[in-house]
Chains A and B, each alone.
Chain A
Amino acid sequence: MGTASSMLTQYDIEEVQEHCDNLFSQQEIVSLYQRFCQLDRNAKGFISSDEFLSVPEFAMNPLSQRLLKMVDGINFKDFVAFLSAFSAKATAQHKIELIFKVYDSDRNGKVSFNDIVEVLKDLSGSFMSDEQRERVLSQVLKEAGYTKDSSLTLDDFIKVLGQSELKMDVEIPVD
């Protein structure tokens, strides 16, 4: 695709569609491209952290810094691939994989007790003390049959989160 031009060819759309496993329709990809171009202010072909943070709704999200690590400098293909986890057609496993990636910040395939506490810190801010967070987490871990030292793998996540309906769908506005 090269540098971001203002028009997508049919080939480009199909390539992107394949890259995201057909989780988005061609219309949705065109819409996403318009959005990508709106966020990518000077048409560099990728979106920087600063440009993501110019969306106030995103900047005020507690997990924005974590997500920025995953999307900083993202090009359009990867942008669509990232958002494909939020498609209604995505499987629960796909969604849980994304959640796992958010927790597993050091990408070692395991989520430790501390990794979860770090995410809790983002979500709770100054309204909970470190001690409270660790206490709550230890308690629910114990009840689920894990210990403070156990590292959770993706399979553990699938087991724990796969039981209930994950409501993680975002609709792409198509005009």
Chain B
Amino acid sequence: MMRKTNPKSQSTELELDQPNIEDYLPSGHTIHQEPHGKLRLCDLLDISPTLSEAAGAIVDDSFLRCFKSIRSEPWNWNVYLFPLWCFGVVIRYLILFPARVLLLSFGWMIFLSAFIPVHLLLKRDNSVRKNIERCLVEMICGFFVASWTGVVKYHGPRPSMRPKQVFVANHTSMIDFIILEQMTAFAVIMQKHPGWVGLLQNTILESVGCIWFNRTEAKDREIVARKLREHVQGADNNPLLIFPEGTCVNNHYSVMFKKGAFELGCTVCPVAIKYNKIFVDAFWNSRKQSFTKHLLQLMTSWAVVCDVWYLEPQNQKPGETSIEFAERVREIISQRAGLKMVPWDGYLKYSRPSPKLREGKQRNFVESVLRRLEEK
């Protein structure tokens, strides 16, 4: 007598960790309806559903779509518009760009001449120093935004400095941080970067209370979670801004939110950012260009237009898990900014999916086969 293994093994922790992917994939993917009838050789040999899913993924998939720069139609293609565009290029590169560089340099000079003395002379916990540094950081961010002629419309009440609250926003480029920072000095949690950005992180951003993480380190999550908790407890710390997607997405989709920000026992204030691609696409495709190139691209375009919505603060409902809470906030932000939600973890950009995802499919297959074997 064959001992039947029960395919319904215990749900793995990772499955509880994610919403059901099958809910999100378009109906075309679940090509096969529940097969029934006694199992025959042709049923066992017929791998066409699995092959079709694989081919479907090769042809188009909802994950890579999130990181594709969607190019808008070129408008400069006829005899009248092309010279106009050329004229525009001349103005942008030869007049606007140098003016912006000058402006930015001017801003940096003011900033450094005030920041360095204050940083060195006053003690670390001095509240006057903190306030001055806060204002200075807001100012330099304002200069940055002006250097790409940022036209930012802020909607909703300006965030207030209250303890036990965190801000979460969707992520398109590192300039998201600058745009929000010019309004309110947030403390942010960022990936540690090399180069001049890293230098800025170590010196200036440290003063507003930023937290670093490193995607590549395995134990990183726990360390970061602890740092987050410590920060929100502190009364005098700047409000914490978190980008739960963990990576830059192209502003048409949103990937899954990491639950770290949602298990701190704080109020979560969602912020939605939507860029208008009318002059330039603000999506920073970190695979395709370095941040410097990205900034240069912004500085040689007419303007960066975007909308920022400060949305109603949310609390974790009783009986709601952190993941459900994260998904609920993601839906609020995605609706406001017109983003399509996809069920993928942004970190899949850098690593392979866990084998548990495959196991779900395998389990379904085995269940179906064993069931049909029994049918008459």
Contact = CB atoms under 8 A, between A and B. Distances in A.
Interface of A: 32, 35, 38-39, 41, 52-64, 67, 71, 83, 86, 95, 98-99, 102-103, 116, 119-120, 123-129, 132, 135-137, 139-141, 143-144, 146, 157, 160-161, 163-164, 166-173
Contacts of B58: 35, 39, 52, 55, 58, 71, 83
B51 A168 contact: yes
Contact of B353 (A39, A56, A164): A56
B344 A56 contact: yes
Given A144-B41, A170-B56, A95 B48 contact: yes
B48 A166 contact: yes
A143 B357 CA distance: 34
Contacts of A127: 5, 7, 9, 359, 362-363, 365-366
B46 interface: yes
Contact of A140 (B39, B48, B353, B358): B39
A166 B46 contact: yes
Contacts, number: 159
B57 A57 contact: yes
A110 to B, nearest CB: 14
Contact of A170 (B59, B64, B358): B59
B28 interface: yes
Given A32-B59, A53-B352, A170-B59, A99 B344 contact: no
B219 interface: no
Contact of B45 (A126, A160, A172): A160
B369 A62 contact: no
Interface residues of B, number: 50
Interface in B336-363: 344, 348, 352-353, 357-359, 361-363
Contacts of B41: 140-141, 143-144, 146, 160
A157 B60 contact: no
Contact of A58 (B45, B52, B57, B362): B57
Interface of chain A: mostly helix, strand, loop or mixed: helix
Contacts of B357: 56, 60
Given A58-B58, A60-B357, A136-B44, A170 B287 contact: no
B151 interface: no
B266 to A, nearest CB: 31
A83 B56 CA distance: 9
B371 to A, nearest CB: 12
B54 A61 contact: yes
A61 B59 contact: no
A99 B348 CA distance: 29
B237 interface: no
Nearest to A123: B365
Given A60-B353, A102-B51, A129-B5, A167 B32 contact: yes
Interface in B1-48: 2, 5, 7, 9, 25, 28, 31-32, 39-48
